[in-house]
Each structure stands twice: as structure tokens, then as C-alpha cells.
Structure 1
């Protein structure tokens, strides 16, 4: 339209009025485009500032962080100088010195690592089970850094999707090994499970029969397998526990089973077994096959192995298969033997008797043995033996046959009577003990008295099974595991500690990390804790001590919490933390998890973080720059068109067009 007016202007001078109209319109349009261009420029400046100073998470700390709030190398060095959270001892455990941190180029993170690109292992202050992550799938090593207990485990254990990426400060430690310190949380990370001087693992395995030792075909037999890496700071790689069941056994179940091939059972725990203060426990159930013969003795052991230690077998507990006896049959009568005549001896000639040899007193005697347990122990056995001798004999020593198998296990040369012998390391069960006193007389041979039998019963080493149950009191859900909770709901946790042995468990130390629960809930009555002997420490661990947990008894701790009326919409502190993830997870023997009905703001934020593309500051700046260029072009075009119209009007007026 504008071009048509200009083309017809020489033939119709009255069109100058329309040019004046368009000129005013273009001036208004130019003013609007000027304002838009200024706003775009300001937006671009905001994007530049945001790229230079990126936003931080709304939550500054997680209890798993080695040191929180790490954004630059300077903040990392400042934390070192202040020894915040004892990071010097922790970093030095992995060979990282202040000079190594100072040598990292630049101020900002200089590397990005992807959790699945290598075998990354990171370090944190809490075990995986504190966040409801099973350590069965992921190997984990407990590390003691000068009294600071930290945990090293695969970085991919934290992934909630296919993989995760982390900004990090990359450098080399004092031994020339590359390390990565993750931004925000300060957790040292390596491309393998790493310690400068790792100790050799010490693996132990114990297999115990839980049911009767005499069973019938078709009955179920249960075993307990306990295995552990007992050496602090060590990590067994290539770990495997194997149980080759006897062919007379039929497999039923095994806790933490990784794979099974026929009667060969395997537990791997991701191939690594780190140091742990208490053993892992797996219960094995098998069934005796129906065609097993009578009086068959079946023994089975478990074998534990790793790259560093080779194979080690447990004891092989045995059972005896007893079938129903067959009906008795009457034996055939045996005929009496024919009588044999007695021969009459012929008379012998009389022979003078030889003189008798000189008589010497033969040493003789007997002994009495008894057993008792040493004070404060159920493993240290004291065998007391009293010897009684005759005919001038004296005691010269004692022999001990443990379990009465015909082999002397100990020999003590002593003349004392009574005499106390202390032995240890007997396995749980009933042990028959035979003691022999060695006696002699002057110039005579050494002889043994008859056996002095005694026995001792060694109780099991006390062990506990842990379990947790959760109830939603408000919604009247007896088993709230896997359900959703809302604001104001009252939740009841029950922590059960069961002594599964016939021995009292003295001074049991209970510990349950409750921090994940308290992010979305609060305790209803603190006196409820003190009345049960529970203490909530500064790290949100519930701790207690049970002085004596009786044999085959249980103890239950009950904790009630109320979901907060205003559920926090707080973001997670870092990509390594499951805190504030709209879920409550708690682990005490078994894990219970409940989803939280989070506010819509939190839900939108979570959806945006997972579904929207992660553009980053570079992409945002490029888009803002493009918009600024287009807005500038449109503003400049409007100004040029206004000037062209003014020039046309001026020339037309000077040319006498009006």
C-alpha cells in the first residue's frame, strides 16, 4: 500500500495527506520498537550477568556433603584453611593436599564427569542405606580418616535416570593420581575405588545350622550365612560368595541371591565388599530330597573369595537324614550246638617252682574334671582337674581330648592338682571333653589314668535381626510402605530388634538415621523418645543402648511423627543428594518408603527439571542475542522509512507540488 501511494503521488498530489498519516503512524511504531529494543537489550544484560554468576541451590547443605557450598576454587581453599568439617583429614586420606587444590587451573570447575562414562567412585559422610539406597546392589567401603568415618561407593548409585553429569574441579594428588572434587558438595571422586595404600581385605564366612541336625526326607533345613570384610579401609574386589549345595538338597531360597546355576548359589554384591563393622547375614533354606537314603550325612559349606584373598571356606554344618524304620520281622530260631566232650588231662611230673620276682609298687590313681566359663565371657572355658594317686605316685601332666575324637589337643606338664586349664575359640554347641592325668613313681614308667569326662555348652554369639514397619494412623493404613502421605498425617514407625540366638546380647547399640523423615515431618512428643531411651543427635541419628537383650526376645521402639502442615518446596541441595525429593525413606534392617504430596510449585519444578531441555547459559545468551538483533533491525527500519517520507515531502513541496 505504501509503495502504491508513492507511485501515484505525481499523478494525484492530494495523496500527500496520506503520506502525512503514514509518517505519524511510523513515528508511533518506531517509538514502540525503540522500547522493545531497549527491553531486549536489558534482558540480554541480565542473561550475561546470570551466566557470570550462576544461581545457587535454595538448600545450602546435605548431611552427606563433605563440605557444602563449594562453587569456586577459592571457596574450596578457604574451607581447607578453616578445616571446615575436618576436610583436611578426609582429603589427606586420599592423598589430596592444599597444594594439589591450589594447582587446579582457573577458579571455576574445569571438568564435567558423567556417572556412566567410567567406574567413578565418590565419597560421602553417610552410607547409602541412610538414603534408602540398597548396598546389596552397590559395593561400599567404610573409610576411617583420622576418626572421621566416610563412605566410598560407585557414583552411579545416585542416578535416578540413565546417567547424571557433575561439574568438578580436576587435579592430581600428591601421588600423581587424578582426582575430581564435585562442585557444591565437595565430595572427592576417583575413576576407581581408590586409597593411596589400601590394606589387604580380611574376609570371613561362617555357616550355621538353624534347624535340627536329624531330619526326614522332604523337611526344610535352614542355615545362616554370615560374611564380612573385617579389615578397616579395605575393599575386596572380584568378591563372590558361593554355596554348592549337596545333590540331596533342593534349593528353596537365599537372601541377596545374585545368580543360581543348578545347585550352585552365588552372592556378589556388585563384585566389591568393603570393610564393615558387622557381618552381612543371608538366610538359606533348602529341602531334603524325598529319595535320600536313611542315615545319609549331608555336610555343606560356603566359600568366599576375592581377587586379593583367594578362596576361604566356612565350617560345614552337617545333618543326618532319618527315614521311618521298616517293620520288624521275627528272626529264625538258631539250633543249639552239639555238646563237645571234655578231654581228661594227663598227669604232669612235679617241677620245682621258680622264685617270685621282686615286687614294685605300680603307680595308680584317678581324676575328676569339671568345666566353667571365665567371668564375663561365654567363650573362655576353664577345665579344672583334680588327680588322686596311690602307691607313692605323683602327677606329672595332663592330656586333653576336646570333643572326644581320640586326638590329644593339648598337653600341659605340671604337677599341680587341682589344675585349671583355660581354652578358647570353641564353636557354639555341646563339647565333650576327656582329660587324662599322667602319673609316675620314682624309677617307674609314666602312665595315664582313665579318662575324666566332662562337657561344656558354648552358647551362640548373640546376633540380632532388624526390621521396621510403618503405619499411617490418620489414613488407617496398617502397612504404609509404598503409599502416599499428606500434610497433617500422623505416621508411626516401629523399629524391632530381635535377638535370634540363645545368648543374651549385652550393650546393644541401636542406630537409625531419621534425617530423611524429619525433612517432611516433625516429632509429635519428644518425651516419647526419652521414655524409650532414644536420643536424637545433631546429625538426626536416633541412638540408644540396650543393656541386656535377652535370648530369643525382641525389643520394639515406637516413634510417631506428623507430616508438616506446610510441606516444604525446598530443592535438593545437589545432584548427589536424595534430600527433599518428595519421598520419605527409612532403613532399619529393611527399607520403608512413602511418597509425599508435595506442593504444586515443587511438582512443577521437578517436572521442569526432568522434562524441559537443559539449555544452559550459552544457549540462552544465543537466543537473547538473536532476539536483540531482530528487534534492532525492525527499529532501524522504522526510522529509515520515517526519514524517507520526510525527504519525499520536502522535495515535493520544494518542487511546487502543493
Structure 2
């Protein structure tokens, strides 16, 4: 158009008004392009300031952080050295030590940038994440003052395909889970502007198995005699890379041993049970460790005929490990029992036992192999066992027996011997005028015959066929508890179910924890414990329901209770929604915190929704905007600046040329 008007002007002077109109429009366009040019220049200036002075991350640390305030390598080093983070938790060395990460490993570590999808990363945290909840694995760390969980690092990839992180990385050299493996300690989550360091330990998933060891050693040296006591020590440990689950140690004592006592030195105390000669210690789990735990066992040598060598081994079992047996040499686990002799004469003990080392002779005793001269003739007085009966049942395997004695004048009782299925099980010395005697004894399952024989100090024993009893021992079926846990929440004002509903500022909510025993045995010492960290983000406790509140772990814990079969127990606490509802931004280490949702779990999970403020709506919108970053914006700004500048100066040049043409034409120069 511009070339057409200029070329036609000498031939058609009437086009001069159109030239003036066109020049006026170009001046207007020049003004508009000037404004655009200035705006783009200002935008570039703002972007350059953003690059020179980037925005600072929020300090909204979360209780799930392993090291609260761990925003740099120096912060992690300080927390490790002082064993304390910004929340005052004093278990930092316990946690890092469990994974085999030492202070020097942190000091020698380098800074690296990683993505959540680079490897099959596993990360850690102190709280259960409600996102992909089934992938959270609880870890029992000795000395940790809060719960502890492991989960995939990708659990936080909520708004994008991956998240970038800055971390301290190195090789763990301590005696822990990651010994000899690479670790990462997250110090900066660069995927959100509100990110902060969390100190969460991260590593690449690997095949983790327990490795159990057990050995048994005697602490008492030399040969022993019946009646002596001896001590054993059972050493055990897990040197693998995973927790051994449901660990049991079983020790079947030889028949020559009688159990006296036991004690355990371990990180957790087991449940101990005894069934006849079988001793069992049950642990919930056995964590990896380099040092041995041990059991000290005291036994007593029974009255036996000897000499004999009694050897003893212990067995270690776990749900996720094959059964192993202590394989020490016989010199370490076997005890030599000397042949017993009569206490006074030193002669071999007769077949009847130590009680038969002497025998009555007139008014005294003589050795069993000596002949007793005939006593002066006396009238014969008879003594007899008239009855043997069961008087009490203790448990399924123990019975209490009573012998009834009938004695004529002049006859005196010496002892009562008891036999089970033909074998002597006990001999009781009695007073001369005793008319009864009792014995308590434990039997194996099946039919048994128990009989009693008496010996007389004076008089003659009359044979009796009534001093025996036949009975059956039946082992009952084992009973076990089965617990079902569930959680519910209601509005206290209406009693309506609040799960899945929206609560408003000032509303009071009542959370109820219920545990029901659907099994056949009592569930002892059931502890009700509730993690309320997510609740306290938006509500305050108004009634703790008798629970103890832990301000560091953010939990409510009630006293242990026994739950009988068919019984259910409930615990309730109340909270009130804060007024106004907080608009705190989402924490970097836990994108599900401050999400206008109250999630709570006890067996089942309940969720209460909260209305979002304008600030939270803006935060959600900004979080979903494309991630361009300053570099992309600068490139686009420069390109836009050049395009707008080009058109601005082109329009300005054309307007100036038209003004010159118009002036020259009017003045007659053309």
C-alpha cells in the first residue's frame, strides 16, 4: 500500500489527503507499538531481577521430615553431631546409624542432583503418607522416638511425571543396613517453590534378606553331680539386611536337666513359655545388628545314674528365614555328669536310688549292702497304702495326687515312692505318723498309670492293690486372638457421619478408635495409639479421651487394655476445627500436608474435607501452571522484545518517510 501511494502521487495529486490519513494511522500505530515495546522491556527487567535475586523457599518444615530444618549439608552435619534437629528430636544418630551412615560419611559426601525416576529409589519419613498408603513399610529402629516408614520416592510424583531433588550422596561405611551401598540424604526439593530440606535418607531398592546366627555355650566348666546347677548362654543375632519376622528360639532340655531360671539381654524382650522340657522364646522381630543378643539359662542336674554326657542345642526359627541350629562343638555345649554315689559311704547308688543307700536296722540305719542282725522279737504292726487319688488338676498336663496311709499302733511310715508307667518319678521322706502324702507332677499327652509304694520305719508293709490310678491327658487346642481395628468420625453437634463430608471453621469432630477381638483368646495389653499430625494441621484437641499426648511424635496413646474374645473396646477424642481455617502452604517434604483434608487412620481411614480459602485456590492454580523457569521466560522475552522492536521502528520509519514526502510535495519539491 505504501509503495502504491508513493508511486502514484506524481500522476494523481488528489491522493495527497490519503497520504495524510495513512501517515496519521501510522503515527497511531507507532504509539501502540511504543507501549508494547516499553511493557516488554519492563517484563524483561522484572525477569532479570528474579534471576539475580530468586525467591526464597518457605520454612514450612513437616513432622515427617527425618531431619527438620535439614536444608543444607552444614545443617545435616550439625544435626548429626548434636543428635538434635530443629524440632528437638534426639534420635538422629540412632536413625542414621541404623542405615550405617556415619558422621564421616556425611562430611565426605558430595552434592548431587537426582530425579525421582532415575533409579528404583526408596526414601524414608517419620509419618505414614496417605498417598499410595499400601506402599508404606513401617521400620522398627531402636532408639527412634517416632514412627518410621520406607516408601518409593515416586510416591510424591503427584503433579508431574517426576520430581528433581538435591542431595548429599556417598557410600555408607557403618555397620548398618546400607553398609557398602550408596546413599542420598535429601536437602532441597527443587520441584516446588515452597520446598525445604527434609534430611530423608534415600537409597536404591535391593534384595533384603535376614541372616540369622545362633550358638550355645556352657558357662559352667568341669564335671557335675546330681543336684549341681549349671549355666548356659545362647547367643543370637541377625547380620542380614532385613528384619527377621516372628522369631522363635527353642531349647529342648535333655531329660537329665531341670529348668531353674532364664534371663534375656536383647533390644526387645521376648515372650517366654515352658512346656515340660521345651523352652521357647518368641520375639516379634529381630532387626539387623552386628552385636549378639543372648539368653542366660540356669539348669539343675536331676538325680540320675551315671556317668553320662548330656548335650544340648538350641534352634532359631523365623517366618522369612530357614530354621538353624546351634552347631558348637560338644566341648562347648555338653556337660559330663559323674556317677552319683551314696553320700556317706561313697558306695555306688543302688538301683532303688539314693534313698536306698541306707536301710533301717533295728533302731538305726546301715548301708544297703550290709546284713542287719535280726531284731528282738516284737509284735508285728502293719502299715499300708489304702488309696491313691487325684485331688487337683492344674492346667492341661499337671495333676496333684494324694496317698492315704493306714497304720496299726507301733507301725511308723518311712517314705512314699511314686511310679509313672513303671518308672519312679519321686520319693518323699515322711514323718513317722503321717497319714497322707501329696505329689504334683506334669505328664505328656496320652494315657498314664500312677502308683504309690510305701516303706515302713517300723512294722511291716501290707500289700495293697488300691494304690494306683489310671487317667488320660488331653492337650487342648491352642487359642489365639484376632483383632479388627476401625476408625469413625462424627459431627458432635448433629451426630452425623463426618467421613467424606465438609467441616467448617468452629465445627467439633469426635474421632473413635475401635478394636474388636474376633478370636478365641484374650488379646493382652492392646495399646490404642493414634497419629494425629494431619488432624492438628487444621484442628485443636478439646478432649483427649484420657489419652497421653506426645507433643513431639504428635500422637495420642491410651493405657494398654485386655480385650476378651467377642469383646470390642473403643476410645474417643474430640477436636475443633480452627477458626479461621489456616491457609498454610503445602510442605515440601509432604505434598499431602495442609491440603484442606483431615485424614486419620486406625485400621481403616477416614477423611474430612475443609473449604479452601482464596489463597489455597491460588496455590493450587499456580501449582498446575507449566514449569517454564527463568531461562525459558528470558528467551521468550528477548524474542518478543526483538519482534515488537522491529515492528515499532519499521512503523516509525514509514511514518517519518510519509511526513517527508507530504512536506516535499506541498512545498513543490516533488
TM-score range, shorter chain: 0.5 to 0.7
**1:180 aligns to what?**
184
CA RMSD of aligned residues (A): 5.2
Aligned CA distance change for structure 1 residues 122 and 419 (closer, same or farther; 3 Å): farther
State the 1:179 CA deviation. Answer: 1.9
Deviations 1:515-538 (A, max 9, x none): 222323333xx3x33xx4223321
Q: Give the structure 1 partner of residue 531 of structure 2.
A: 513
Q: Which residue of 2 aligns with 1:167?
A: 165
Matched with 1:605 is: 619
> In structure 2, how many angstroms separate the alpha carbons of the residues matched to 1:469 and 1:419?
56
Which residue in 2 is equivalent to 1:66?
66
CA apart distance, 1:579: 1.7
Deviations 1:563-593 (Å, cap 9, x if unpaired)? Answer: 3343333332136442222322222232222
Q: Deviations over 1:623-651 (max 9, x none)?
A: 3343344345456656766887899999x
Taking the aligned partners of 2:560 and 2:246, their CA distance within structure 1 comes to 29
Aligned ranges 1:266-305 → 2 under 5 Å = none
Residue 476 of structure 1: how far off its partner (Å): 5.7
* TM-fit CA distance, 1:548: 5.8
Equivalent residue runs for 1:463-502 within 5 Å: 464-474=483-493, 477=496, 479-500=497-518
- Say if 1:549 and 1:476 are closer, same or farther in 2 by CA, change over 3 A: closer
- C-alpha separation in 1, matches of 2:447 and 2:45: 93
Secondary structure, aligned partner of 1:61:
coil
Q: How many residues align?
A: 479
Task: Report how far residue 511 of structure 1 moved.
Answer: 0.9
- Which of 392, 399, 415 is 1:370 aligned to? 392
1:224-623 mapped onto 2 (5 Å cutoff) = 230-233=284-287, 308-309=321-322, 366-372=388-394, 384-388=400-404, 394-396=415-417, 399=420, 413=426, 415=428, 418-420=438-440, 436=450, 439=453, 449-451=468-470, 464-474=483-493, 477=496, 479-500=497-518, 507-523=525-541, 526=542, 528-529=543-544, 532-538=545-551, 539-546=553-560, 552-574=566-588, 576-610=590-624, 612-623=625-636
Is 1:482–1:593's contact at 8 Å kept on the other side of the alignment?
yes
- Please give the alpha-carbon distance, in whole angstroms, between the structure 1 residues aligned to 2:590 and 2:455: 80
Q: Secondary structure at the match of 2:38?
A: helix
Change (3 A) 1:234 1:596: farther
Distance change (3 Å), C-alpha of 1:505 and 1:231: closer
Q: 1:112 to 1:502 in 2, by over 3 A?
A: closer
Seen in structure 2, the aligned counterparts of structure 1 residues 198 and 101 have a Cα distance that, compared at 3 Å, is same
Residue 98 of structure 1 pairs with residue 98 of structure 2: no
Residue of structure 2 in register with 1:120 after alignment: 121
Q: What CA distance in whole angstroms lies between the structure 2 residues aligned with 1:387 and 1:81?
A: 72
Structure 1 runs not aligned, ≥5 long: 206-227, 236-303, 312-358, 374-378, 400-405
Cα deviations by residue, 1:451-497 (Å, 9 ceiling, x for unpaired)? 367999899566654332222345663x3333333444433322223
In 2, the alpha carbon distance for the partners of 1:65 and 1:101 equals: 17
Q: C-alpha separation between the residues in 2 aligned to 1:121 and 1:388?
A: 73
- Do the aligned partners of 1:367 and 1:437 also contact (CA within 8 Å) in 2? no
Alpha carbons of 1:577 and 1:43: their partners in 2 closer, same or farther (altered >3 Å)?
closer
On the 8 A contact 1:132/1:587 being kept in 2, the answer is no
Cα 1:507–1:162 change in 2 (3 A) is same
- Aligned with 2:633: secondary structure? helix
- Given that residues 171 and 181 in structure 2 are in contact (C-alpha distance below 8 angstroms), is that contact kept between their aligned partners in structure 1? yes
Instruction: Please point out which of 244, 251, 271 is paired with 1:201.
Output: 244
Out of 34, 38, 42, the position equivalent to 2:41 is 38
1:172 & 1:133 partners in 2: Cα distance? Answer: 29
Give 5+ residue unaligned stretches, structure 2: 173-178, 190-196, 209-238, 249-281, 290-316, 325-379, 408-412, 430-436
Q: Deviations over 1:396-420 (max 9, x none)?
A: 5564xxxxxx999xx9555476445
Change (3 A) 1:146 1:31: same
Tell me the TM-score normalized by structure 2: 0.57
Q: Is the 8 A contact 1:62 1:573 kept in 2?
A: yes
Aligned to 2:640: 627
Assess if the C-alpha contact under 8 Å between 1:60 and 1:68 holds in 2.
no
Larger mean Cα displacement after TM superposition, 561-570 or 39-48: 561-570
Whether the aligned pair in 2 keeps the contact of 1:144 and 1:232 (CA below 8 Å) is: no
- Match for residue 56 of structure 1? 57
Match for residue 309 of structure 2?
none
Query: How many angstroms apart in 2 are the aligned matches of 1:139 and 1:462?
Result: 26
1:66, CA displacement in angstroms? 0.6
Cα distance per residue 1:585-614 (max 9 Å; x no partner):
22223222233332344245335535x433
Does the CA contact (< 8 Å) of 1:395 and 1:437 recur in 2?
Answer: no
- CA shift, 1:541, in A, is 1.3
Q: Deviations over 1:34-66 (max 9, x none)?
A: 63343032133034246xx45524x61222111
Q: Shift of residue 67 of structure 1?
A: 1.9
CA pair 32-383 structure 1, distance change in 2 beyond 3 A = same
Rounded Cα–Cα distance in structure 2 between residues aligned with 1:372 and 1:544: 35
Which deviates further from its counterpart, 451-460 or 38-47?
Answer: 451-460
- Mapped to 2, the partners of 1:105 and 1:234 lie a distance apart of 27
Question: What SS is found at the alignment partner of 1:623?
Answer: helix
Structure 2 CA distance, aligned partners of 1:164 and 1:397?
A: 78
Cα contact 1:26–1:641 (8 A) shared by 2: no
Helix, strand or coil: the match of 1:578? coil
Offset, 1:200 = 5.7
CA drift at 1:506: 5.9
